[in-house]
A and B are shown apart, each in its own frame.
Chain A
Amino acid sequence: EVQLVESGGGLVQPGESLRLSCAASGFSFSSYSMIWVRQVPGKGLEWVSYISGSGNTKYYADSVKGRFTISRDNAKNSLYLQMNSLRAEDTAVYYCTRRPNAEMDVWGKGTAVTVSS
């Protein structure tokens, strides 16, 4: 079964850091580019970051550029999102998604991040 499982969310104070992980299974992980998407509770979806299958190409939304870093370990079938200098507006559920072409065809259940003092 194709599956993505996020972890690492939690409650942090503004300015602190957090690292999200996404464990992939049931497919050839290195063959797919991956995307992080977030959703503020009760609000819409926002694209956060993209990484190619090899990990060599990365893109970020302007709202997180310079603060977040996407990475992957294909040997461990894992995707990561290092989030630094967190702000209240980063509070959201973060989803790991698989990107076969231009769509996001598999989604994890998400991990919640709360940034609050």
Chain B
Amino acid sequence: QSALTQPPSASGSPGQSVTISCTGTSSDVGGYNYVSWYQQHPGKAPKLMIYDVSKRPSGVPDRFSGSKSGNTASLTVSGLQAEDEADYYCSSYAGSNNYVFGTGTKVTVL
């Protein structure tokens, strides 16, 4: 199973929006509505930010939103804040309880 493709980096100024793409195949992203997104600060464990493509866990700000079209999922962070600076990983269910993660995107708040 190949890793999902994400851009290595993305950036925006405080208050702006940034969108991260996550491209897979019809066997993972395109085949299931089970895309999730994780935020990871340096030295910390990942944190679930979005699941089932567009659902937010309790406690996650509504500045974070997710979507999917075909084999590509996207995470949008609106109203960027300094604490949003982190690495972001997408993940997709790939059948038979297998999962595949994205390559990761470093978001920088300028």
Contacts and interface: CB of A to CB of B under 8 A. Distances in A.
Contacts of B34: 101-103
B3 interface: yes
B47 interface: yes
Contacts of A37: 46, 101
B48 interface: yes
Interface size class of A (residues with CB under 8 A): 20 to 34
Interface in B82-110: 89, 91, 93, 96-104
Interface of A: 33, 35, 37, 44-47, 50, 57, 59, 61-62, 95, 101-110
29 contacts: A37-B46, A37-B101, A44-B89, A44-B103, A44-B104, A45-B46, A47-B91, A47-B99, A47-B100, A50-B98, A57-B97, A59-B98, A95-B45, A101-B34, A101-B51, A101-B52, A103-B34, A103-B48, A104-B38, A104-B46, A105-B51, A105-B57, A106-B48, A107-B45, A107-B46, A107-B48, A108-B45, A109-B44, A110-B45
Interface of B: 1, 3, 32, 34, 36, 38, 44-48, 51-52, 57, 89, 91, 93, 96-104
